[in-house]
Amino acid sequence: MSSNSALERTINKVLSKKETELISQIDAAYQESLKNIEDSKSKLEAERTKIIESAKKQAENLKRQIVGSSRLNARNKELLMLENDVNEAFEKAKARLMSSGKEESYKSLMTRIIEDSLPTVGSDEVVIECNKNDSELVKKILAESTKKSRIKTKISDQPINVIGGVRVKSADNTMTFDNTLDSRIERLKPLIRKNVARMLRGTAGEEE
């Protein structure tokens, strides 16, 4: 018995040792898996924060983009509307000019235009073009002022379609000086637009 019991004790001892070993192994494995879980949890956590961060960043960007472009679009619409108004104002102004042909102030304007234009071309012989209504006026002005100028002038028999003013060409047709009211308005347009726009906008002021 004793030997048996000794054997048994040994076996027991071994078994219990194995048992504790096993238990500790299991425990270690458990601990490890716990740690793994913990690890992956924190990893997940980090991953999650990262995703949220980047989503936030994206959302922020998107928001900026949307806000930015919607403001821009609104501004651009305003620009288009303003341009319409400006053009309308121009057309009205032109129409008014068309009907102002008979005023006395127009004659003195025409005189100045013609007197400026002739020497500018720098040619000895020039052809003057104007609209149908003005050709009498031009003739009259030329008749009154020929003495002062040595430049030979001729009025074109082809009327041009303009509001007023003249176009002066050298006789050989190589040079043209456009001094019609139309071209003057065209040249002044950028300046006038600014004033018209300011009036149309009133005191609303500029964006932001």
Partner 1 sequence: MPETTAGIEYTKVAEIKGPLMVIDGITKASFDELVEIETSEGERRLGKVLEVGFGKAVVQVFEGTTGLTITGTKAKFLGKTMEMPVSQELLGRVFDGLGRPNDGLPDPIADKFLDVNGEPMNPERREYPTSFIQTGVSVIDGMLTLVRGQKLPIFSGSGMPHNILAAQIARQAAVVGTKEDFAVVFAAIGVQYSEAQYFKRSLEESGALRRSVLFLNLADDPAIERIITPRVALTVAEYLAYDLGMHVLAILTDMTNYAEALREISAAREEVPGRKGYPGYLYTDLANNYERAGRIKGKDGSVTQVPILSMPADDITHPIPDLTGYITEGQIVLGRDLFRKGVYPPVNVLMSLSRLMKDGVGEGKTRSDHMEVGNQLYDLYSRAQEVRALAEIVGRAGLTGTDLKYLDAGDMFENYFLKQAADENRNLEETLGRAWEVLSTLPEGELTKIKDKHVKQYYKGSK
Give the residues lining the site for partner 1 (CB under 8 A).
Answer: 61, 64-65, 67-69, 71-72, 75-76, 79-80, 82-83, 86, 116, 120-123, 173-179, 183-184, 187-188, 190-191, 193-194, 197, 206-207
- Whether residue 114 contacts residue 138, with contact meaning beta carbons closer than 8 Å, is answered with yes
Closest CB to partner 1 among 1 and 80?
80
d(CA 59, CA 10): 70
CB of 25 to partner 1, least distance (A): 40
Q: Of the two residues 96 and 198, which places its CB atom closer to partner 1 in the complex?
A: 198
Q: Which residues contact 177 (CB under 8 A, 6 or more apart)?
A: 117, 120, 121, 167, 168, 169
Is 28 or 199 the residue whose CB approaches partner 1 more closely? 199
**CA atoms of 202 and 191, how far apart (whole Å):** 17
In the complex, minimum distance from the CB of residue 26 to partner 1, in angstroms, rounded to a whole number: 42
Minimum CB separation of residue 38 from partner 1 in Å reads 28
The Cα–Cα gap between 196 and 207 comes to 17
Considering the complex, what minimum distance in angstroms separates the CB of residue 79 from partner 1? 5
Instruction: Provide, rounded to whole angstroms, the least separation between the CB of residue 17 and partner 1.
Output: 46
Least gap, CB of 103 to partner 1 (angstroms): 20
Rg of the Cα trace of the chain?
47
CA distances from 107 to 3, 5, 85 (A): 147, 144, 31
Which of 187, 103, 171, 172 lies closest to 137 in space, CA to CA?
A: 103
For residue 40, CA distances in Å to 10, 121, 206 come to 43, 89, 56
Nearer to partner 1, 29 or 52 (CB): 52
Do 127 and 157 meet the contact criterion of CB atoms below 8 Å apart?
A: no
Q: Closest CB to partner 1 among 4 and 203?
A: 203
